[in-house]
Amino acid sequence: MATKKKKLLVLTGGGDCPGLNAVIRGIAKRARQEKDWEVYGSIEGFNGVYSKPQEIIKLTRHITSGIHVKGGTILKTTNKANPIKFPVVQPDGSTKYIDRSDELIAKLKALKFDAIINIGGDGSQRISTVLHKKGMPMIGVPKTIDNDLSATDVTFGFQTAVQIATECFDKLVTTAESHHRVMIMEVMGRDAGWIALHTAIAGGAEVCLIPEIPYDISKILKRIEERYRKGRGFVNIVVAEGAKPKKGAAFSQAAEKGSEHVRLGGIAYQLSHQLKAAGCNHEIREAVLGHIQRGGVPLAYDRVIASLFGVKAFELALKGKFGRMVALRNNSITDVSFAEATRDYNFVNKNSFLVSAARGLGISFGD
């Protein structure tokens, strides 16, 4: 007699990130070794469950084969399907946020899923926490290029973002040098300076500005002048999108309709204005990397971490260990409670060796 198969649902939420597909493949491959499990994917986060008709696909061998090499997510993603604060556009054009979590739970129960793996950042882990408290069999996998989740030593996607940013930085160095210019390169990272700091060290920047160390424009100017003799010289600056001056706030744009987050980005231009206003008379050029950092093929390192996370996440489902997020800690793959996963934001510690070593390399933080 055929045994009833157990059903697992995978989804990706929030911004995409190199390595998501390697997690999906890791889950699917490991699950295939257990004869009584079937793996499904919800298209575009929880929207696949909400939509009529529902968009839930079976993750067959054919679908997941070879996807670990591909950037993005084969399941698509969105940051506008938070079941607890679901954006609904009103007739007057404004957006109202409503709690659709009970509706979601009813739909998931009707679909009879035995486990749900939500691959996402901070926001997704918080959503999973609420759903788990309401009785859903949730498991989390941490993703983000920002590396801002404190319960894991590293998130997959981060190394790829740093590699991309460093390659761009290297290109900007040669042109800055040829023109005796100050080149400002802006990287992502939200409220954490991990991408900026790693890129500055890898690329050999003169100045690195991160949210954790507010800057003083006169200190940056001083560092710039040290690099010029008789009008000749060049400076390469890495600025994190969330960096802020000592007096003032981070440079942000209004939140996009339906999105809970303000959009960061554009500080490179702001900094350029501030430098000119403070008396910098060298030529300045700005480069905002933006989503280039999130695109393309994941590095081998991120593929490895993501694959291990996928296997581990499935094994948590197999053991019925719900309410847990997989994590990398002290070189081993483990799992932590959702409470721990969402407790602290992972800021760069300004007193860490990473920061003092950067200073030792002559990098100024503008402080």
Residues serving a catalytic function are 146
Binding residue for ligand F6P, selected from 145, 305, 311, 336, defined by CB under 6 A: 145
The type of residue at 312 is K
Q: Which two tokens stand for residue 123?
A: 């926001």
| Min dist. Cβ of residue 127 to ligand F6P (A) | 15
- Cβ-based nearer residue to ligand F6P, 146 or 206: 146
Q: Which residues, numbered 290-309, are part of the site for ligand F6P (CB under 6 A)?
A: 294
Q: Are strands 284-288 and 182-187 parallel, antiparallel or unpaired?
A: parallel
DSSP secondary structure of 143-161: B-TT--BTTSS--BTHHHH
Cis peptide before 53 (omega within 30 of 0): yes
| Min dist. Cβ of residue 348 to ligand F6P (A) | 14
Closest-approach residue to ligand F6P (CB): 188
Stretch that binds ligand F6P, among 111-119, 173-181, 182-190, 295-303 (CB under 6 A): 182-190
Based on the shown chain and the rule CB under 6 A, indicate whether residue 15 belongs to the binding site for ligand F6P: yes
| Min dist. Cβ of residue 294 to ligand F6P (A) | 5
Cis peptide before 18 (omega within 30 of 0): no
CA distances from 228 to 119, 177, 208, 216 (A): 48, 11, 18, 20
Stretch that binds ligand F6P, among 186-194, 199-207, 270-278, 316-324 (CB under 6 A): 186-194
| Min dist. Cβ of residue 298 to ligand F6P (A) | 15
Q: Are 234 and 181 in contact (CB under 8 A)?
A: yes
Write down the number of H helices and E strands in the chain: 12, 15
Based on the shown chain and the rule CB under 6 A, indicate whether residue 190 belongs to the binding site for ligand F6P: yes
The number of beta carbons lying within 10 Å of the beta carbon of residue 55 is 16
Binding residue for ligand F6P, selected from 77, 79, 152, 270, defined by CB under 6 A: 79
Task: Give kind and range of the element (H or E) at residue 319.
Answer: helix 300-319
Based on the shown chain and the rule CB under 6 A, indicate whether residue 189 belongs to the binding site for ligand F6P: yes
Residues that bind ligand F6P (CB under 6 A): 15, 79, 121, 144-146, 188-190, 241, 263-264, 294
